[in-house]
Structure 1
Amino acid sequence: MPTAIELSTLGHRIRHHRVSNGYTLDELGERVGIAGSQLSLIENGKREPKLSVLQAIATATGVEVTDLLSNEPPNRRAALEIELERAQAGSVFRRLGIAPVKVTKGMPDETIESVLGLHRELQRREREAIATPEEARRANTGMRLRMREVDNHLPEIEKLAEKQLWAAGHRTGALTHRTVSIMAEQLGFELIYAGDLPHSARSVTDLENGRIYLPPASIPGGHGLRSMALQAMAHRLLGHTPPTDYADFLQQRLEINYYAACCLMPETASVAFLTQAKKDRNLAVEDFRDAFGVTHEAAGMRMTNLLTVHLGIPLHFLRVDGSGAISRVYENDGLPLPLDVTGAVEGQIVCRRFLARAAFEEQNRTTEHYQYTDTPGGTFWCSTQTGTTADGEFSITVGVPFDDAKWFRGRETPMRGVSTCPDESCCRKPAPDLTERWAGKAWPSARVHQYMFSPLPRGAFPGVDDGEVYDFLERHAQG
């Protein structure tokens, strides 16, 4: 069945050819054997004509049937009316709960254009307001649960990464900046290090001129430039288009990060390394990290992609900030984690008995720390490394159920914790004697996180200032 817009376009084309021939509705109706009122319904897109009627109209107006069936509006006025009809039939307008504007024969084109301008702005703002904070949290939770179902493993991207690495001549060892440049060249891109990148963007890709702009290699943390370049290339390799909503944006971010991790720590070489380490009962995040020249966090997260699928080991990963808030998480081993009402984990405070928090109290911050923790979900062993950035302290934790600790270095640790969270008496509720001593006598000044009051970043690419990016590209295109 033709759509309403298709019938509307057909009606406009019939009206155009009728008027061009100087016929009234009744005159053309008489020539084709239908009443003028029936022809009016057809012209207004309210009724689908029979093929015999279409053939008769085509003959009477001196055109081919294919001319009547074209999807192109016959003139500018018809194009305006069809666009308005389409806009008023859309979900964005219908949610407003107001009546659509009825176009009359005497309505000036300028009036229709003004109404269309309002619709275009409404749709633009709808695209920018990509999600409320709650919608974003739900989207993130949905993605985390979907990845848990597949053990955090995406085989298609694994294969794509190894194919690109092989084509660039990479066989073994840490991936070099030179090899990353070759990979970019094979996709038609040149890597350029620019000191004036927009503040809101980690990298900028100029699709017209085949350039990927990255921060200067001399900046702090410049070791991450390989990953940034690979992520930028991944958008092209994975066929990404501008995200349609926040869930799509998050999915694309996950995929480009996954591709970069696959290139920096290729599946074949990584699985061989981890398999040997398991055989030696010496699995360790720090060894895996050093073998491929990546960060501790990248190595720990890469383990979540490979250990379950290839070695049969379920595990969990936590990145926790100095206040105890979880900023990144994955688990498929049943570790009890704090959840908010939407099911989200990010931003929740982890139990103080977990090593992910207790490690901040350790004097030696240069090595991994180990601990067994008894929880309502069972006993887990974990390894935690702490670090510091400009934003403050953080810890990276990788852990497994008790039975799988035998494969890891640090399994002999005597350190043991007991967590009964989410029971508040575990670590959130003060001891009775302290409550009696201090209740009503303390007034702490709370540290308020600014992000609590910040709206979710707007735009097709949330948080990116399009004007700043376009000015940057124009400046470099002319240089």
Structure 2
Amino acid sequence: MPDLTTLGQRMRYFRTRSGHTLGELGDAVGVSASQLSLMENGKREPRLSLLSAIADHLQIPVSELLDDTPPSERAALEIELERAQSGALYAELGLPMLRPGRSMPDEVLTTLVGLHRELDRRSREKIATPEEARRANTELRARMRERDNHIPEIEQLAEDVMRDVGYERGAVTHRMVALIAQRLGFELVHVGDLPHSARSVTDLANGRIYLPPASIPGGHGLRSMALQAVAHRLLEHRAPADYAEFLQQRLEINYFAAACLMPRAQAVRFLTQAKADRDIAIEDFRDAFGVTHEAAALRFTNLATAHLDMRLHFLRVGDDGSVAKAYENDGLRLPTDVTGGVEGQIVCRYWSARTAFARTNRTTEFYQYTDTPEGTFFESTQTGTSASSEFSITIGVPFAESKWFRGREASRRERSQCPDASCCRRPPSELASRWAGKAWTSAKVHAHIFSPLPSGTYPGVDDRELYEFLEAHGASD
């Protein structure tokens, strides 16, 4: 069944096309004209038997009434206007509902719909700010903590998809990913001119998923991008209504991609054996499935609590100590701002996420015990290099859980008193007295802090660049 507004529009369209009045059609099918009018205005749902009687009298298939597309361009505009006026954005204005009658010219209706579209666009632009992103991300992280960072329904979906393409063990091949896309009616196409703001583009009209020409160095880049694009279709995502929904969708597609590249049954079997051997190591998990260290660490957070009965924390930290990503359900107190946001905050100098940068040999994981006000944690950290800076990836667990991990015999132990400022943020008193007022520096500004997000249909993506890309590739075939 289409929604009642569209159904009513189709009923009215076919009635007027046949030349019947409400009274004439009502008499023919046994309902009053007023009842029929309510149905055509989307205020009452007709029984299927009544729709069949109406279709018979109008000499059309009942499927014509049940189609979910507006019957005409005028009807589409009327439906869009009604939906816009029924939304919270219009309700805030305190204005009366305006029903487009027959006497309303098409150009007036088009103008009203255009105004509502612009009102909606400006509302999206207003909320697509770093502040809104931080608030939405904080709320999303809290929800995922409540779920132990585990989404069973996506786990099952990924498991079904991988079983259908014959996956059994080891690293997922590019061919398997292409086959997944193919079964959904999509071809993977590698191009060198993707829009600057897009990681991939899905052409729904022509059944193509456009990807970069080469994989991200050192990992699962292209496979993950393709699986994320596929996930939008499998999870039936629509254009996000706000930034919070955009972040939720992004989390879900990332989760699906990880669950395909490291399928639940095989990953849990691998980690369970490692736990039995008291030799859990993210670097082994990474190598077993052919993914990046960060992907393996994040996937470990999905499975550790739900399947290994283990609390933990995850950190991605820049070489300046700032948090890029974080998750915890083990009681570690993460640094936060007044809104509860973690991203961009500075972690303690004595956590392994920062001390690991000081070691000379970075080929293997770095192990450390850290005493904090919340207890002692065992941490395993691996450092890496991005295009612009260094970063570290950390998985940590409470002291009691360290017995399951490789590196538990580590002798390095640090003490952290953060968030007490005297721990590592305030300079020693002798240095402060010697240099206070005798130095001046020019601070490095993180430009993204001041930048609003591009306000296209998908936050962060330039609509014009996206559509020009699709037009160019569609026209070239």
Do they fold alike, i.e. is TM over 0.5?
yes
Matched residues, number: 433
Aligned to 1:356, which of 349, 353, 378?
353
Verify: 1:438 aligned to 2:448, yes or no: no
Shift of 1:165: 0.9
AA in 1 matched with 2:408 = R
Structure 2 distance, partners of 1:85, 1:272, is 53
* Contact 1:133 1:455 (C-alpha < 8 Å) held by counterparts: yes
* 3-state SS of paired residue (2:171): coil
Root-mean-square deviation (Å): 3.6
What is the correspondence of 1:27-176 to structure 2 with a 5 Å cutoff? 87=84, 90-96=87-93, 113-176=110-173
CA-to-partner distance for each residue in 1:225-272, whole Å, 9 max, x for gaps? 011111111111111111111111111111111111111111111111
* Contact 1:380 1:402 (C-alpha < 8 Å) held by counterparts: yes
Shift of 1:110: 5.1
Q: What's the counterpart of residue 300 of structure 2?
A: 303
1:143 to 1:84, Cα distance in 2 relative to 1, 3 A:
closer
Q: What's the counterpart of residue 285 of structure 2?
A: 288
Verify: 1:402 aligned to 2:393, yes or no: no
Structure 1 distance, partners of 2:233, 2:100, is 43
1:167 to 1:74, Cα distance in 2 relative to 1, 3 A:
closer
Verify: 1:231 aligned to 2:228, yes or no: yes
1:326 to 1:217, Cα distance in 2 relative to 1, 3 A:
same
Structure 1 distance, partners of 2:427, 2:191, is 52
1:109 to 1:185, Cα distance in 2 relative to 1, 3 A:
closer
* Contact 1:234 1:256 (C-alpha < 8 Å) held by counterparts: yes
* Contact 2:220 2:290 (C-alpha < 8 Å) held by counterparts: no
AA in 1 matched with 2:325 = R
Verify: 1:412 aligned to 2:409, yes or no: yes
* Contact 2:268 2:303 (C-alpha < 8 Å) held by counterparts: yes
Shift of 1:103: 9.8
* 3-state SS of paired residue (2:192): coil
- Shifted more, 282-291 versus 109-118: the winner is 109-118
Q: What's the counterpart of residue 449 of structure 2?
A: 452
Structure 2 distance, partners of 1:417, 1:152, is 28
Structure 1 distance, partners of 2:265, 2:297, is 17
Aligned to 1:468, which of 454, 457, 465?
465
Shift of 1:87: 4.7
CA-to-partner distance for each residue in 1:80-100, whole Å, 9 max, x for gaps? 899767655643244456788
Q: What's the counterpart of residue 423 of structure 1?
A: 420
CA-to-partner distance for each residue in 1:274-310, whole Å, 9 max, x for gaps? 1111111111010111111110001111110111111
1:90 to 1:166, Cα distance in 2 relative to 1, 3 A:
closer
Structure 1 distance, partners of 2:101, 2:160, is 60
* Contact 1:285 1:300 (C-alpha < 8 Å) held by counterparts: yes
Gaps of at least 5 residues in structure 1 are: 22-38, 49-69
* 3-state SS of paired residue (1:230): helix
Structure 2 distance, partners of 1:83, 1:187, is 30
Q: What's the counterpart of residue 388 of structure 1?
A: 385
AA in 2 matched with 1:321 = G
Structure 1 distance, partners of 2:83, 2:160, is 44
1:220 to 1:79, Cα distance in 2 relative to 1, 3 A:
closer
Q: What's the counterpart of residue 60 of structure 1?
A: none
Verify: 1:345 aligned to 2:339, yes or no: no
- Shifted more, 90-99 versus 202-211: the winner is 90-99
Shift of 1:113: 4.9
* Contact 1:130 1:459 (C-alpha < 8 Å) held by counterparts: no
Shift of 1:117: 3.2
Shift of 1:379: 0.3
Aligned to 1:187, which of 157, 161, 184?
184
* Contact 2:378 2:396 (C-alpha < 8 Å) held by counterparts: yes
* Contact 1:130 1:458 (C-alpha < 8 Å) held by counterparts: no
Q: What's the counterpart of residue 27 of structure 2?
A: none
1:334 to 1:218, Cα distance in 2 relative to 1, 3 A:
closer
Structure 1 distance, partners of 2:174, 2:408, is 36
AA in 2 matched with 1:295 = T
TM-score, normalising length from structure 2? Answer: 0.81
Shift of 1:337: 0.9
* 3-state SS of paired residue (2:233): helix
Q: What's the counterpart of residue 201 of structure 2?
A: 204
Structure 1 distance, partners of 2:309, 2:80, is 56
Structure 2 distance, partners of 1:87, 1:223, is 42
* 3-state SS of paired residue (1:213): strand
Structure 1 distance, partners of 2:75, 2:224, is 50
Structure whose alpha-carbon radius of gyration is higher: 1
TM-score, normalising length from structure 1? Answer: 0.80
1:221 to 1:205, Cα distance in 2 relative to 1, 3 A:
farther
Structure 2 distance, partners of 1:174, 1:89, is 49
* Contact 1:216 1:222 (C-alpha < 8 Å) held by counterparts: no
* 3-state SS of paired residue (1:359): helix
Gaps of at least 5 residues in structure 2 are: 22-33, 44-64
